[in-house]
Structure formats: C-alpha cells, structure tokens
Amino acid sequence: MLSKPIERITFNPDQCGGRPCIRGMRIRVTDVLALLASGLSFNEILAEMPDLEYEDIVASIQFATRRIDHPVIAV
C-alpha cells in the first residue's frame, strides 16, 4: 500500500525556500512534476533521480492535486 503523501512531502523553511520537498531531500515536488510535464515516464524519472522512489512520484501528484482542489468563491 502506498503511504500518504503527507508522510513523503516535507517542508523546511531552511531548505529550498520552504517549498515542499520529497522526504527531506532537496528534490522539490515541482521538480518531479516538471519532469512529468516534460513527458518523462516514472521509470525515466527514477533513473534521472535515483534517490526517488516510485511512491515519491505518486505522492507529488497527489499533493499537487490536493493543493489545487479548492473551491473558488465568486463575489
């Protein structure tokens, strides 16, 4: 079973400007998402960043999905 994204996504104000990172490493969630957006497969990303695990990529996607899934209130 995959772990919850909150367990893999970390925030440290002294690292990467406080941006969300993977498991305390200096690999930002945005780095992973940018590689996916550029068309790389999970396997290609894992080869490019050997410290990552499959679950880290899934957690990045889940994290991003939860961050943008909020209501917009029009006034």
Find out whether 23 and 10 touch, Cβ atoms under 8 Å. Answer: yes
- Measured from the Cβ of residue 56, the count of other Cβ atoms closer than 10 Å reads 22
- Percent of the chain beyond pLDDT 90? 77
Q: Among residues 15, 23, 13, which one has the least CA distance to residue 57?
A: 23
| pLDDT value at residue 68 | 87
Which residue matches tokens 């990529």?
57
Asked if pLDDT for residue 4 goes beyond 70, the answer is: no
For 27-63, how does the pLDDT look when each residue is reduced to its tens digit (9 = 90+)? 999 999 999 999 999 999 999 999 999 999 999 999 9
* φ/ψ (deg, to 5) at 56: -65, -40
| pLDDT value at residue 2 | 53
CA 8 – CA 4 distance, rounded (Å): 7
Find out whether 29 and 63 touch, Cβ atoms under 8 Å. Answer: yes
Look at the domain 5-68 and name its fold.
Arc Repressor Mutant, subunit A (1.10.10)
Q: Residue 74: pLDDT band by 50, 70, 90 thresholds?
A: confident
Domain ranges of the chain: 5-68
Query: How confident is the prediction for the chain on average, in pLDDT?
Result: 91
